[in-house]
Structure formats: structure tokens, C-alpha cells
Amino acid sequence: MKFVDEVVISVEAGKGGNGCLSFRREKYIAKGGPDGGDGGDGGSVYVVADSGSNTLVDYRFQRRYAAENGEPGRGRDCTGAKGEDMVLRVPVGTTVIDEDTLEVLCDLTRDGQREKVAQGGFHGLGNTRFKSSVNRAPRQTTKGSSGEARNLKLELKVLADVGLLGLPNAGKSTFIRAVSAAKPKVANYPFTTLVPNLGVVSVGRDRSFVVADIPGLIEGAAEGAGLGIRFLKHLARTRLLLHLVDMAPWDGVEPAESARTIIRELEKFSPALAGQERWLVLNKLDLVPEEEREERCQKVVEALDWDGPVFNIAAISKEGTEQVSQAIMSYIEERQQAEAADDDLASAEEHRKACLEEEARERLRQYRQQNRNSDSEDDDWDDFDDDDYDVDVEYVP
């Protein structure tokens, strides 16, 4: 299944039906008076969060959606039928943005949430509405108003408990394959992963969490370089970040310097995100001579002045990955229990997520606005329309 996290569509609500001009004409009834009915309202356009969907790929093939127009009124005071609403089902976690104004219209965070994104036109009035004591045979009617039309960007943020950070080729995809049944593409070159991958990690009966493999970052990602700002936004909703560091880099760069690059990008993109709970995972230790492993790991920890949890693993052989999974599960359960027992803590967590998402949106808005105002011919702010960005991803618990 292809994972598509951004798409632009056009929606148009239905036009309201016109009012009817009619007079009652029956045998033995002289001057029956006006009996023109009102038109029907146009259908509106709604988006509904559906937990059964996990991709926006269907909207890549059909870009225009229109609700039904309202029917015109009829004689004998018959009101026209209302136009049928257009309902667009999207995955939970989808943000709907007005493409022209960059206004965030709604954020669908729970299953079944329903939001109106385009208002249907209002009905026109029949001539019955205009009769009065001084106007017994009105010939005045009104037309139905046009429905609202918008260009919408549907933007899906990965709803995951844990986000994986790291430079390209740090072993994030290998890690997610090691701890879950997901099978993202893995190869020995940078930027193998081009879209976020989801994996469900089960550590026991009724104990599981979702991990998101975010595509690799490079220096300048916060300004949109590389795969950049498109994917950094997905980290806003995670509870925990795992910072994977390649301990046997192919380019010879010191692991500590690679880690600093990611930290700098986080701080540029969002100070709040940089302050989120983050664990250090030193990967590919199977490629390091056994007698040098402890020294190299200690060197990285000291260079970063790291005071949080540190895990030493070799994801390709699953060495150490079980300990990481167990620790993550325990951390998530402890946080959930603490939030359930303390309303203030729960409110603080919701506020933290809201602040992170607002910062992410603001950075995206600034980036899009900057590129829209640019005269550069190589503008790539809308590069998600390139089909080359889609790779096959399995979503298997």
C-alpha cells in the first residue's frame, strides 16, 4: 500500500435551488394566489476521520469533488429537495488546510470526527414568501446562492507513540523491521526511505505501541533541504523520540558530529520539539570491533554531554532491540497512568502537543509562503505531487 501524506484537491459545495414563480390555478377557484415553493439548499462538503483508512492515496487519482445542487422549488408550495452532502473520508491525523489562504480549517484527531469544509448554497425563495396585504400577486423570487468552493490541502501527520530520528542511512528502517512486522525498503544508500513508515511493536499480550520511521534528515532540513521540512512535521505528535546514531558511518564522519547535526536541525525547527523526551540509540555496533565498542560509545556520550537513556544495538541482527522495546513500553505505560491519575499532567501533555503542532504548522506556512513568493524556476515546495516519492509500505501489526 502506498503511503501518501500530502495531497491537494478542489471541493465545491452544491448551489442552492431557485425559488419558484407559480400561482394556484384550479377550477372554481378564482385568483388562487401565489403558491411557488422555495428551492432546496445545496449540499455541503464534509471531511470525516476514518480509523479504517491510513493513506490519502485515493485522492491522488481524483482531485475534484462536488456536492449535489439543491432542486428548484415547485408550484403548490412544494419545496425543492436538498442537495446530497459530499463526505470525504480521510485517515485519523489529517489536517485540512485552505491552499489559497494557508488557513488551517480543521485537525481530525479522533475516529468519526466530522468537520464542514465547504458550505452549501442557500435556497432561493418562492413568490409565496413575498405576498402581503398590499401585494396579493407577487412575481418576485430569489435565486439560490452558489456553494462555497475551495482548494484544500490534506496533510496527514503520522499518529505514532515513538518517532525515529537520524541522518540518512542511520539504520532507522532496519530498526523498525527488527522490532515490528513492517517491511520498509532497506538498502545501503542514503534516502532509501522516502515516506514515513509505521510499525506496530508488540511486547506482550495487549501491550503494544506504534513507531514511525521518519525519512532521514540532513543539515539544512529545517529550511527545507533534502526531504526536509515535509517529514520533520510528523514528529510533533510523538511521545518519545529515538535518536539513532550510525556508529560505523560510510562517509567517515564522527558519530557525535552526526548526532549534533540532528540536534541542531531540531532546535532550528522547533525549540519545543528539541526539548521533548529523547533517547540515544547507538546502532551498527556489529560493524565495530568488539574491543572498541565500549570506548566508542562512551566517546559519543561524553561528546554530546548526554544525560538521558542510552542503548547500544545492532538492529540488523536484533541485538539489543528487545531491551529498547521493553523500555519504551514501560515508559509509555507509566506516562499514560500518570496522566490518567493527574488531570493537570494530562492537560499539560495536550498543551505540549498543541504547541508542537502549532510550531510545525507555522514553519510549514513560512516555508510555503517563502517559496510561493520566490521567482525561482526550481520551486519545489509542492514536490509531493511527484509520484517518485511513493514507495510500497506494509502496515502489518
The residues near 101 (Cβ < 8 Å, ≥ 6 apart) are: none
| Same domain? 222 vs 332 | yes
CA distance 19 to 124: 4
Please report whether residue 170 resides in a domain: yes
pLDDT at 124: 93
**Coil, strand or helix at 112:** coil
| Same domain? 143 vs 74 | yes
Q: Could you tell me if 219 and 261 are in contact, meaning their C-beta atoms sit under 8 angstroms apart?
A: yes
Please report whether residue 151 resides in a domain: yes
Number of compact structural domains in the chain: 2
Which of 35-39, 202-206, 293-297 is predicted with the least confidence, judged by mean pLDDT?
Answer: 202-206
CA distance 254 to 15: 63
Domain boundary among 128, 156, 184: 156
Distance between the two ends of the chain, CA-based, in angstroms? Answer: 14
| Same domain? 198 vs 247 | yes
pLDDT at 365 over 60: yes
| Same domain? 181 vs 122 | no
Helices 343-372 and 321-341, axial angle in degrees (round to 10): 110
Residues 313-337: what's their mean pLDDT?
88
Residue recorded with cell 494557508:
102
| Same domain? 75 vs 209 | no
Higher pLDDT, 143 or 232: 143
Range of the domain at 20: 6-156
Domain boundary among 156, 180, 195: 156
Using the 8-state DSSP alphabet, how is residue 189 labeled? S
Calculate what percentage of the chain has a pLDDT beyond 70.
76
| Same domain? 227 vs 148 | no
Domain boundary among 130, 156, 182: 156
pLDDT at 383 over 50: no
Band (pLDDT 50/70/90 cuts) for residue 152 is very high
CA distance 78 to 73: 6
Band (pLDDT 50/70/90 cuts) for residue 1 is very low
| Same domain? 200 vs 338 | yes
| Same domain? 49 vs 132 | yes
Band (pLDDT 50/70/90 cuts) for residue 165 is confident
Please report whether residue 233 resides in a domain: yes
Residue 42: exposure state from Cβ atoms within 10 A (0-12, 13-18, ≥19): buried
Please report whether residue 1 resides in a domain: no
Instruction: Return the CATH number at 128.
Output: 2.70.210.12
pLDDT at 388 over 80: no
Alpha helices in the chain (DSSP H): 172-179, 228-232, 255-269, 271-274, 290-304, 321-341, 343-372
| Same domain? 354 vs 313 | yes
Instruction: Return the CATH number at 284.
Output: 3.40.50.300
Q: What is the mean pLDDT of the chain?
A: 78
| Same domain? 313 vs 183 | yes
pLDDT at 118: 93
Is this model's pTM higher than 0.95 or not? no
Residue 178: exposure state from Cβ atoms within 10 A (0-12, 13-18, ≥19): buried
Tens digits of residue pLDDT in 31-75: 788 999 999 999 999 999 987 776 787 788 889 999 999 999 998
Please report whether residue 396 resides in a domain: no
| Same domain? 94 vs 175 | no
By C-alpha distance, which of 93, 228, 221, 214 is closest to 163? 214
pLDDT at 308 over 80: yes
CA distance 110 to 236: 16
pLDDT at 26 over 80: yes
pLDDT at 22 over 60: yes
pLDDT at 121 over 90: yes
